[in-house]
Structure 1
């Protein structure tokens, strides 16, 4: 196993982590920004008003993209296990 192999695996792992976290983070960011804008316009400073919509948005994002996320992670893991024999040489 060379240093190039390690860097390649690390890069693939970071890209998968970025792809898997993007739907959840983007939905929380979008809803958080909208709620923050609403709170600043109406001067309502309630913690649950900011927390509950984000929680719902993250849940919906997981429901919509969960199958794709699981498939991506399983495929990556299978590819990683398939690479083991070639890395040991």
Structure 2
């Protein structure tokens, strides 16, 4: 395998990981910011107040975006397997 092919596989692996994780990360970020603002405004510093809503939101995002995540990872897997089969 040439260095260019290894670089291409690594690039595609990083893009597949990013494509699979961005919905969950964006959801966790948005919920974290909103909860942080609510905590700052109300001065309630309860640790479970940040954990439980974020857990529920990320779980919902996972349920909604599982097919998108599967497509990103499946596309990378097909490309990697085609490289293995090709040589």
Question: One fold, TM greater than 0.5?
Answer: yes
Moved over 3 A (4+): none
TM-score (norm 2): 0.93
Tell me how far 1:59 sits from its aligned partner: 0.4
Tell me how far 1:82 sits from its aligned partner: 1.2
Tell me how far 1:47 sits from its aligned partner: 0.6
TM-score (norm 1): 0.91
2:13 paired residue number: 13
Tell me how far 1:80 sits from its aligned partner: 1.1
Tell me how far 1:28 sits from its aligned partner: 0.3
Tell me how far 1:53 sits from its aligned partner: 0.6
User: Helix, strand or coil for the counterpart of 1:45?
Assistant: coil
RMSD between aligned residues: 1.0
- Listed one character per residue, the Cα deviations across residues 28-80 of structure 1 (whole Å, up to 9, x for unaligned) are 00000000000000000001111001001100110110012112212321221
* Structure 1: gaps spanning 5 or more residues: none
- Superposition map of 1:1-89 within 5 A: 1-86=1-86, 88=87
Q: How many residues get paired? A: 87
